[in-house]
Structure 1
Amino acid sequence: MQNRIILAATAASAIALAGSAAQSADFTLRIHTLVQSPHPYNDMAVFMEERLEAESDGRIDVRVFDSGQLGQDPAVIGEMGLGSVDLMISTTSNAAEQIPEFAIFTMPYLFSSMDDVLETVGPGTEIHEHFQQVYDERGVGMRLLALGASGTRNLSTAEVPVESIEDLQGLQMRTPPSPMDSETWSALGMLPVSVDWGELYAAMQTGVAEAMESSLPGYTGSKLYEVAPNLALTAHTIQVNHTSMSTATWESLPEDLQELVQEVAIAANEHGVEMAKQYDDELVETLQEEHGVNVTRPDTQAFRDALAPIQQQLAEDLDLVEEYELVTRE
């Protein structure tokens, strides 16, 4: 009994100290991610938490809310505009409702590697500056701190193992609210159905969707292998993520803390790319050995050949010609 009392007192003291630290800080920043660990977004959020608290001399306190605790991305973007959520780290495809130009990043086989993504769209690039201008024009009330890469996205299915394009015909394919995704999978003979990430497990479980695609960390962290146990390594896109901050929060910070937040966000972005590479290398083996996932390796050249002719047309149909030309410019 005495040990329990001591443990309870220790826990209460820790909570009190944490609360005291938060109260003594000049600024408390809430970071949203949609995903469960292991995932690069959560690694990036924790990286930012540790660095910002350590390097601000206690002026910044950071709270990380992962697993969609603050809501789904479209709702959180609205909260960011109001300043009630301060930072978010997420995939650009989930922001395509408010920022349609982000749909360019779901175009299939646009990048050759995660390093290629970082070099093309990372901080300081023309693409980064373009999307900050898009943020401003769209009036979303956010500042773009960084664009980065968080792993290859691959196809998985509930019942039918995918060995070739022929296996996709007629399957109900879950897509995020992104027209690019819908058009891409329709071109491969699938039937798109839009489902939010937080509802995906149930959609696959109940048959509302028969196929889905995601990063390997997202697939693993959300235990989607339980309802979509057939994983096809199509690597059809390299997931592009954004780290964004509420404009209201940004403008409330003094210049030295703005510089610190920007610097830490860029470092976290690079950390996320390295973690994504590590996960992609390790998770396939883990999924096979620990979760019994059936892994297939279709001929991706066949997918590339089928989709390459429609890229320019997709860009034109979805009013993304400017973004397409910026990304593909050599």
Structure 2
Amino acid sequence: MTHSRRLFLLGSAAGLAAVSLVSAATAQEHTLRVHTLVQSPHPYNDMAAAFKEQVEEESDGRIAVEVFDSGQLGQDPAVIGEMGFGTIDMMISTTSNAVQNVPEYAIFTMPYLFEGMDDVLAKVGPGTALHDHFQAVYDERGVGLHLLALGASGTRNMSTADTIVEGPGDLSGLKMRTPPSPMDAETWSAFGMLPVTVAWGELYAAMQTGVADAMESSLPGYSGSKLYEVAPNLALTAHTFQVNHTSISQRTWDKLPDDLKTVVEEAAISANEYGVEQSKMYDEELVETLQSENGVTVTRPDPAAFIEVLSPIQVQLAEDLDLVEEYELVTQ
């Protein structure tokens, strides 16, 4: 091979490599880092995976999505702060963990507010008055987030370390773990319980060491974090339907061109609907698994007894916590 021929081939290869690098750089214009707090199996991680697949496909590779589950990027309040700066792009999580930043989200921890997960989606999902209300709240509070979707991710039930719960009379005096939500604290105090604020990532240790005697959570959260090991008595109170939010950093959102905003928004809405269906499946299947494979003792208290205690104080709770507007939007 002549010297000139070798130079030509080398030059061609270098040119192709340069074109390839330029093409790759052009194709991938944005990377979205998505946070979830939970371990799989859990609908939040299912939603994140579905979101990633749809966004990367429908953006033709212009957006890459990286999912960080199990709280790898931190606890929710800290992550919300990072999203305000744009250092984390997205999160899928429960609204109750965002109450420090968005106090109005506390309304969703009021027990027996919805009739089922489909009812939640119909009342709070994208395009509803409540969704628009909370986007306005985001803007007013300057949290630096844009709301993509609100949805439902399963029933929340009570579990305890030692006490088998058959009704409200079994709760008095128990130390009840709550997230940083005034609604939760007020609610469980109505049953004579002693609220103890514990972050989700510290809950296993709190139950194990006796800092808390009782807790409440979704079934996927209870199972995925192996909380049955420290709280093996599960009472299917179904006292709330967990409302989740899919939010994106406002800084990240503002950087996206309109066509990619549409891709992200549509994928979030689709993943939100998928999360509801996954949540129904988990709620149906997990109870049997927890009993048969994990030795959990399951009781099914009559919800009417719990509703009897809470119904008289719901409106007063909304007034005390300045959540009347949110309460009326849910119940109208």
Please state whether the residue corresponding to 1:180 is helix, strand or coil. helix
Matched residue type, 2:81:
G
Please state whether the residue corresponding to 1:147 is helix, strand or coil. strand
Counterpart in the other structure of 2:295: 292
TM-aligned CA distance change 1:39 to 1:21, over 3 Å = farther
Distance 2:56 2:165 in 1: 46
Please state whether the residue corresponding to 1:145 is helix, strand or coil. strand
Match of 1:180 among 175, 180, 183: 183
Please state whether the residue corresponding to 1:37 is helix, strand or coil. coil
Please state whether the residue corresponding to 2:100 is helix, strand or coil. coil
Question: Is 1:269 equivalent to 2:269 in the alignment?
Answer: no
Which of the pair has more CA radius of gyration?
A: 2
Distance 1:306 1:61 in 2: 49
Once the two structures are superposed, residues 7-32 of structure 1 have per-residue CA deviations (whole angstroms, 9 ceiling, x without a partner) of xxxxxxxxxxxxx9799511000000
Match of 1:222 among 222, 225, 229: 225
Verify the 8 A CA contact 2:27 2:60 in the aligned structure 1. no
Counterpart in the other structure of 2:115: 112
Cα RMSD (Å) of the superposition? 1.1
Please state whether the residue corresponding to 1:67 is helix, strand or coil. coil
> What is the TM-score of this pair, normalised by structure 1?
0.93
Verify the 8 A CA contact 1:21 1:61 in the aligned structure 2. no
1:166 Cα deviation after fit: 1.0
Distance 2:268 2:27 in 1: 23
Matched residue type, 1:300:
P
Counterpart in the other structure of 1:146: 149
Match of 1:97 among 87, 100, 113: 100
Matches within 5 A, 1:226-245: 226-245=229-248
1:67 Cα deviation after fit: 0.3
Matches within 5 A, 1:53-72: 53-72=56-75
Verify the 8 A CA contact 1:29 1:60 in the aligned structure 2. yes
Please state whether the residue corresponding to 1:54 is helix, strand or coil. helix
Distance 1:78 1:169 in 2: 36
Question: Is 1:135 equivalent to 2:138 in the alignment?
Answer: yes
Verify the 8 A CA contact 2:145 2:247 in the aligned structure 1. yes
Distance 1:211 1:320 in 2: 26
Distance 1:228 1:83 in 2: 37
Matched residue type, 1:208:
V
1:187 Cα deviation after fit: 0.3
Counterpart in the other structure of 1:35: 38
> What is the TM-score of this pair, normalised by structure 2?
0.92
Verify the 8 A CA contact 1:35 1:222 in the aligned structure 2. yes
1:164 Cα deviation after fit: 1.2
Distance 1:22 1:201 in 2: 44
Distance 1:40 1:22 in 2: 33
Matched residue type, 2:112:
Y
Deviates more, 1:20-29 or 1:202-211: 20-29
Counterpart in the other structure of 1:13: none
Matched residue type, 2:116:
S
Verify the 8 A CA contact 1:22 1:61 in the aligned structure 2. no
1:312 Cα deviation after fit: 0.1
Once the two structures are superposed, residues 238-258 of structure 1 have per-residue CA deviations (whole angstroms, 9 ceiling, x without a partner) of 000000000000010010000
Could you list the structure 1 runs, at least 4 aligned residues long, displaced by more than 2 angstroms after superposition: 20-24
Once the two structures are superposed, residues 233-288 of structure 1 have per-residue CA deviations (whole angstroms, 9 ceiling, x without a partner) of 00000000000000000010010000110011000000000000000000000000
Distance 1:111 1:158 in 2: 28
Verify the 8 A CA contact 1:22 1:28 in the aligned structure 2. no
Verify the 8 A CA contact 2:152 2:243 in the aligned structure 1. yes
Verify the 8 A CA contact 2:177 2:196 in the aligned structure 1. yes
Matched residue type, 1:261:
V
Distance 1:327 1:22 in 2: 46
Counterpart in the other structure of 1:200: 203
Q: Structure 1: any 5+ residue segments left out of the alignment?
A: 1-19
Once the two structures are superposed, residues 88-107 of structure 1 have per-residue CA deviations (whole angstroms, 9 ceiling, x without a partner) of 00000000001000000000
Please state whether the residue corresponding to 2:115 is helix, strand or coil. coil
Question: Is 1:51 equivalent to 2:24 in the alignment?
Answer: no
1:211 Cα deviation after fit: 0.1
Q: Structure 2: any 5+ residue segments left out of the alignment?
A: 1-22
1:178 Cα deviation after fit: 0.2
Corresponding residue pairs, total: 310
Matched residue type, 2:191:
L
